Amino acid sequence: MSVSYTWVGWTKHKKRYDAVLLVAVALFLAAFIGLSLVGPVASRPSLPIVLIRALGLCAILMLHIVLWIGPLARLDRRLLPLLFNRRHLGVATFFVALAHATLSVLWYHGFGNLNPLVSLLASNTNYLSFSRFPFEVLGLAALAILFLMAATSHDFWNRNLSARTWKRLHMLVYWAYALLVGHVALGAMQSERHPLLAAALLLGVGVTAGLHIVAGSREVRVDRGVALAPDGTFIDACSIDEIPEGRARIVCPRRAGGTGTRGSLCHERIAIFRHGGTISAVSNVCVHQGGPLGEGKIIDGCITCPWHGWQYRPADGQSPPPFHEKIPTYEVRISGRRVLVNPRTLPPGTPTPPAAIPPDEPPHTPA
């Protein structure tokens, strides 16, 4: 979070993250190359081919990790620090994939009369054949998507495209993943038919899909929410005792009278925070990248997004000076030990007095 744009907001944590990332990539490439060159000289592949394979395998492994971090962080808060710098990992994934693609095009298409890219696109047009499908085109399309995401990863684009548009753009990562899976299945697996390769690819796809399904089912349970009164009055959201100090309970109100007994979704999620003997309610959506504020905590008196650390004051949804970001707020009341919330969204940055938590009642002593 910064007042002005910087190329990279370097912190000691980001430096450590990137250092570990670069060392891990270098060690992986060195290990792959070293193991590939073991054995009789006559059966060893040439060094450029080994490097092409090492870079390709490294890129798709990194993309798997990128896709796993999100659902894993939703399922286990201890993994949230990995989410803070996921964009660094994504950009690094693009550069590894770019190195793989560049070396591949030059090695296989750089020694003829045609431009290497023209040769790649024109040398194989068997689009109706499964075994001879031009898998290189799939990899090229995936690389184009990864380039688009890497080029727009800076907060400048997030702000100027709007968080919603930026998020939709970066959801293209799933198309890139599908294209790369096809690229490997129709490319490397056609020449390298070892069953471990197919098993590893299927395992990666299975784990990726499984993690997203599990994390998504958890979100569905949250969205079941509570029904609204027909006139949109305060709703009984939860008990005070269900909200840990400094953290939140997320609720998703529904319109009364919708399909089924539970009603239908009509409001964004509300994050109800408990802090310093009071209760406040704000939008669950961070204006930065749509992060789930209700999964964060209050630090130095401010709601802190678990994704990238953007902060907002609970009483008015405004970022502390000198920042200017704002999120919607909601009116809150307390009845007994129950928290009541008005689901009518107030404009971003609207001051809303927190509701004071009544003191605990002394235990009843029979006469």
Please report, in tens digits, the pLDDT of each residue of the chain (367 residues total).
455 555 566 677 778 888 999 999 999 999 999 998 887 777 778 899 999 999 999 999 999 999 999 899 888 878 877 887 788 899 999 999 999 999 999 998 888 888 888 888 888 888 888 778 889 999 999 999 999 999 998 877 777 887 778 888 989 999 999 999 999 988 876 777 677 888 999 999 999 999 999 998 887 776 666 666 655 688 888 899 999 999 999 988 875 554 444 444 445 789 999 998 999 999 999 988 888 899 889 999 999 998 888 899 999 999 998 888 999 999 999 988 899 999 888 999 999 999 999 886 554 445 4
DSSP 313: -
Nearest CA to 274 out of 230, 309, 252, 242 is that of 242
Q: What are the C-alpha distances in Å from 18 to residues 50, 88, 135, 324?
A: 25, 7, 32, 29
Q: Which amino acid is at 319?
A: S
Helices (H), 256-341: none
CA-CA distance, 52 to 290, in Å (whole number)?
37
Asked whether the CA dihedral 118, 193, 25, 67 is positive or negative, the reply is: positive
DSSP 318: B
Domain spans of the chain?
Answer: 12-222, 235-356
Q: pTM of this prediction?
A: 0.78
CA-CA distance, 253 to 171, in Å (whole number)?
26
Q: How high is the pLDDT of residue 165?
A: 85
**What's the CATH class of domain 235-356?**
mainly beta
